[in-house]
Amino acid sequence: MAWLSRWGVFAPAPVDGAVDAAYFAARHREARQPLIVSGCHRENRKAVELFCRAAVIFGAAELNLAFHWCGPLAGAGAARLKAAGIGTAPAPDGATLASRLESAWVYFACGGDAQFPVQLAQAMACGLPCLAADVPAYRGVVEDGVTGLLYRSEQEALQLLTMLIDERALRQRLGEAARHAALQRFSRQRPRPDPGGSNPRAAPGAIPVPARSER
């Protein structure tokens, strides 16, 4: 579990408009090969390091996955990503990043964020099922088992990612719930509250996640 990130402070609640309309307009169409995407909007050496480790670990598990990093690249970070066999894209604007995200099978937030994780929220808006480390910055965005999955160890991360790759219906349910939650919380044009007092989270329904290892 040493490779897991446990850093970061509590992420403040995002203001309206944290996610641009381009992400909500994205059409989620999975690539033929299972594609795992991660990234950050600012240079983040720790996040790069963790994603590279994850790619090596999951690659050793022979799951036939492709990994892609979206975000700023420094010299050392770019070299590490290349050495780990991870594709890269600077993703300079919303439309470009949205096009990268919409073909992914899973968005993998492996840690390193000390502030509100904007790219995680954008992935949710694209309708991606999200697998995230159980750290404060992500717990404020993802509701475990409802709008995504949180993991606390390398073993659990591998178990949950394998489950997501194997079960398309689970990916679809989590992705739909993630998009709905993002629309409610992060859109520039947030829906008005239901005058009948219904819970907006209830629309997609709670996700029945198959049994996993005890935490």
Q: Is the dihedral of CA 35, 41, 45, 47 positive or negative?
A: negative
Q: What is the DSSP string of 1-36?
A: -TTS-----PPPPPPTTSB-HHHHH------SS-EE
The topology under which CATH files domain 21-187 is Rossmann fold (3.40.50)
Low-confidence ranges of the chain (pLDDT < 50): 1-12, 14-15, 191-204, 215
Token representation of residue 159: 């178990």
pLDDT at res. 62 = 76
Q: State the DSSP H helix or E strand holding residue 204, giving kind and residue range, or none if neither.
A: none
**What does R_g of the chain's alpha carbons equal in angstroms?**
16
Token representation of residue 86: 């991870």
